[in-house]
């Protein structure tokens, strides 16, 4: 069997939000698909962040004692009031989240207008699938060092090409994530490369995207 090239996943959901699997099972299944680092980023807002995050931190700590794959505790702040985003990002970091995502404005959900800007201003790590984003906010993301997410997730992925072209024009960072909700969503390296090529990326662009994910993981390790 041909050995798979290593992958990094920084956006996934367990049964603590709308995913199908226990945290341990999702990470184990990712490991069998060639992942060396995998973040659990369940949907949170002010109603559940104090419940979900400590449990994700706990399971990641336990897994990292015995498994080779790096389990990364995180959150995806989702549909929160714009005025609450910065506070929630700070709360997440203070309470053990190593990767903080904010659910961006997308073509497939009625996310409040202004969420992208608030997320970038908050200094989150990744703005998730921001299909509806202005060039002004792409430029701001570059300045703030916030990565913009390309995604393999159905519906959200329809705007990947637009986001890629905008980010490339100004040099904003891009990452690729699966937004996995179950095992079937966890893309392999080959599937990831195929998707990136389909939106016009060359080898250099693709390596840069994967490199940006490695950079985020290295920050977690420091």
List the domain boundaries for the chain. Answer: 7-221
pLDDT tens digits, residue range 197-212? 999 999 999 999 999 9
pLDDT tens digits, residue range 152-183? 999 999 999 999 999 999 999 999 999 999 99
pLDDT tens digits, residue range 78-115? 999 999 999 999 999 999 999 999 999 999 999 999 99
To 5 degrees, how large is the angle CA 7–CA 8–CA 13? Answer: 120
Instruction: Please state whether the predicted TM-score (pTM) of the whole model is above 0.95.
Output: yes
Q: Quick one: average pLDDT of 63-81?
A: 98
What mean pLDDT, rounded, does the chain reach?
A: 96
Mapped onto helix, strand or coil, the DSSP state of residue 155 is: coil
For 55, the token pair is 């449990």
Alpha helices in 77-202 (DSSP H): 85-94, 115-122, 135-144, 160-170, 189-198
Fold of domain 7-221: TIM Barrel (3.20.20)
CA dist 178 and 68 (Å) reads 21
Tell me if 120 sits within 8 A of 147, measured CB to CB: no
Question: In this model, does residue 3 exceed pLDDT 70?
Answer: no
């Amino acid at each position: 069997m041909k050995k798979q090239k290593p992958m990094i996943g920084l956006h996934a959901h367990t049964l603590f939000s709308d995913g199908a699997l226990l945290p341990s099972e999702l990470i184990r299944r990712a490991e069998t698909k060639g992942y060396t680092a995998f973040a659990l980023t369940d949907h949170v807002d002010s109603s559940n962040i104090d419940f979900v995050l400590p449990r994700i931190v706990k399971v990641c700590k336990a897994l990292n004692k015995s498994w080779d794959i790096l389990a990364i505790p995180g959150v995806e702040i989702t549909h929160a009031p714009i005025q609450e985003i910065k506070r929630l990002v700070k709360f997440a970091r203070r309470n053990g989240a190593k990767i903080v995502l904010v659910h961006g404005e997308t073509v497939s959900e009625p996310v409040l207008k202004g969420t992208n800007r608030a997320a970038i201003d908050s200094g989150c790590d990744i703005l998730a699938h921001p299909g509806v984003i202005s060039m002004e906010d792409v430029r701001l993301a570059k300045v703030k060092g916030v990565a913009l997410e390309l995604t393999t997730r159905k519906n959200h992925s329809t705007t990947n090409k637009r986001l890629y072209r905008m980010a490339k024009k100004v040099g904003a960072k891009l990452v690729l994530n699966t937004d996995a909700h179950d095992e079937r969503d966890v893309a392999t390296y080959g599937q990831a490369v195929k998707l990136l090529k389909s939106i016009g990326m060359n080898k250099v662009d693709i390596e840069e995207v994967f490199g940006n994910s490695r950079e985020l993981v290295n920050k977690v390790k420091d």
